[in-house]
Chain A
Amino acid sequence: MHEVSLMEQTVDMAVACAIAQGAEKIHAIKLRIGDLSGVIPEAMQFAFSVVTAGTIAEGATLAIESVPARCYCPTCQQEFEPQDVIYACPHCNQLSTEIRQGKELELAAVEVS
């Protein structure tokens, strides 16, 4: 339920970057959100229009790239994509504690003019 706060920080960052680059308008914001970030993309989308109101990002589109979880199996020495919340290696069934991808919560890019 912290998506509004996160979206505020996102828009703050996007606006600051846009202004620093001499832009006057933000047309699109692109985020990367990992499946393990604890963030619900739909809630981010919901917060977006509210948070951008009155900013140079008002009316902009929000694109969210979902980043799937990836784990590393030390026995098989390879990465795998877990199928559910139990991170068992599909080759040897060993549980993995090494998460290599999926916690991302990142402002990837903004389109400005």
Chain B
Amino acid sequence: MCQTCGCVVTGEVTIDGAVLDAEMAHSHFHHPNQAHTYTHNHQHSHYHHHLHHNHLHHPDHAYAHTEHVHDTRGVTATISDRSDTGTTIQPRTLTIAQGILNKNDRLAERNRGYFQAKGLLVLNVVSSPGSGKTALLERLLQDWPQQGEQQRGVGVIVGDLETDNDAQRLRTAGDAIVQITTGTACHLEAEMIAQAAQKLDLDQLELLVIENVGNLVCPAAYDLGEDLRIVLLSVTEGEDKPLKYAPMFKTADAIVINKIDIAVAVGFDRDRAIANLHKVAPQAPIFEVSARTGTGLEAWYAYLQGQRERKATTIMGS
């Protein structure tokens, strides 16, 4: 879990108020001074590792006892105390060459397969805080049923550090809404999405939108299993945002410029912004919209419909 810039764990991840299932959670690290809920059914102190779920304890107690059998939750591990051997081991190099985000990426692929089996198009919407992700999704929830004649609806997984304000807002426009409260984490991870998706009846949906935590840095690194990454930029943020946060914009499948209704008032230099976007993210189509007034949304919806149909064709053909 990301503790942002601090090293002290201060929060916990919740999904619609329920704590993220630790048994499903990814491998994690316990600080020596952090309380944990793992029950030890033995009395002596020792250093141990639980290989069955890649979970390491780093207690500050001594490492001095002989071989023993340690039974936790039905898993029996025999651990030898190597200090009894008396041999000196020479330093050696272990080549690992393993991606640090491998676990997240595997879970993301699992999500992707699961969503594909459900026939869902999945968007991961990322942007700075306050650029209008929630407003854009409110409109999408209201407008989507009028787009075409499909039967299924739109679901949203919302990520924020605190409060379920966004989920409450979105629930006035739709009913398939799940809030992930990350506590201190500055981004969503594939594991959170896997669990949040369980709260939704995916068979009733054709579009699932993940509203990521407002942050143009960290979410770029985490694949959630989405089909499309949508980067939102609002006119109040400055034309050079794509240059300043290039890694995020380079991951965009599409870019939405929001709040164009106030572009003149804030002195937004449209040509320069679009030129910067084209230079940094030449792969991404750009949609200029106002979620507030509705300007430009038709082209945006047409793009999403096209992507949905393309995906449906791909699934049928596979």
Q: List the interface of chain A (C-beta within 8 A of B).
A: 1-2, 4-6, 8-24, 27, 31, 36-39, 43, 47, 50-51, 53-55, 85-86, 88, 95, 97, 99, 104-113
Q: Is the CB of A9 within 8 A of B7?
A: no
- What would 15 more interface pairs be, CB under 8 Å, given A2-B218, A38-B217, A54-B60? A2-B187, A4-B2, A8-B29, A12-B54, A12-B56, A13-B100, A14-B96, A17-B94, A24-B82, A24-B89, A109-B96, A110-B94, A110-B96, A112-B94, A113-B91
Stretch at the interface among B147-155, B246-254, B302-310: B246-254
A–B pairs, 16, beta carbons within 8 Å? A4-B2, A4-B7, A9-B103, A10-B100, A17-B94, A21-B94, A22-B89, A36-B247, A38-B218, A53-B32, A54-B60, A107-B99, A108-B95, A109-B95, A111-B91, A112-B91
Q: Is the CB of B54 within 8 A of A106?
A: no
CB-based nearest B residue for A4: B3
Q: Is the CB of B100 within 8 A of A106?
A: yes
Q: Tell me, rounded to whole Å, the shortest Cβ–Cβ distance linking A86 to chain B.
A: 4
**Interfacial chain B residues near A106, Cβ < 8 Å:** 97-100
Q: Is the CB of A5 within 8 A of B94?
A: no
Q: Is the CB of A15 within 8 A of B27?
A: no
Q: Is the CB of B5 within 8 A of A38?
A: no
CA–CA, A104 to B103, complex, Å? 15
**Interfacial chain B residues near A110, Cβ < 8 Å:** 93-94, 96
**Interfacial chain A residues near B280, Cβ < 8 Å:** 85-86
CB-based nearest A residue for B26: A9
CA–CA, A88 to B94, complex, Å? 38
Q: Is the CB of B100 within 8 A of A105?
A: yes
- Given contacts A54-B32, A99-B250, A105-B99, whether A16 and B54 have CB atoms under 8 Å apart is yes
CB-based nearest A residue for B98: A107
Contact of A12 among B2, B27, B217, B220 (CB under 8 A): B27
Interface membership of B178, Cβ < 8 A: no
Which residues of B, 1-45, contact A by the 8 Å Cβ criterion? 1-7, 26-29, 31-32
Chain A to chain B: the 7 pairs with minimum beta-carbon distance, closest first: A5-B2, A85-B246, A54-B32, A2-B218, A97-B283, A8-B29, A95-B282
Q: List the interface of chain B (C-beta within 8 A of A).
A: 1-7, 26-29, 31-32, 49, 51, 54, 56, 58-60, 82-83, 89-101, 103, 185-187, 215, 217-218, 220-221, 243, 246-248, 250, 278-280, 282-283
**Interfacial chain A residues near B59, Cβ < 8 Å:** 54
CB-based nearest A residue for B4: A1
CA–CA, A112 to B93, complex, Å? 6
**Interfacial chain A residues near B32, Cβ < 8 Å:** 53-54
Q: Is the CB of A38 within 8 A of B248?
A: yes
Most buried by B among A21, A86, A99: A86
CA–CA, A106 to B280, complex, Å? 25
Q: Tell me, rounded to whole Å, the shortest Cβ–Cβ distance linking A111 to chain B.
A: 5
**Interfacial chain A residues near B247, Cβ < 8 Å:** 36-38
CA–CA, A31 to B283, complex, Å? 30
- Given contacts A5-B2, A22-B82, A86-B280, whether A17 and B96 have CB atoms under 8 Å apart is yes
Q: Is the CB of A2 within 8 A of B186?
A: yes
Q: Tell me, rounded to whole Å, the shortest Cβ–Cβ distance linking A83 to chain B.
A: 13
Most buried by B among A5, A13, A112: A5
CA–CA, A94 to B26, complex, Å? 41
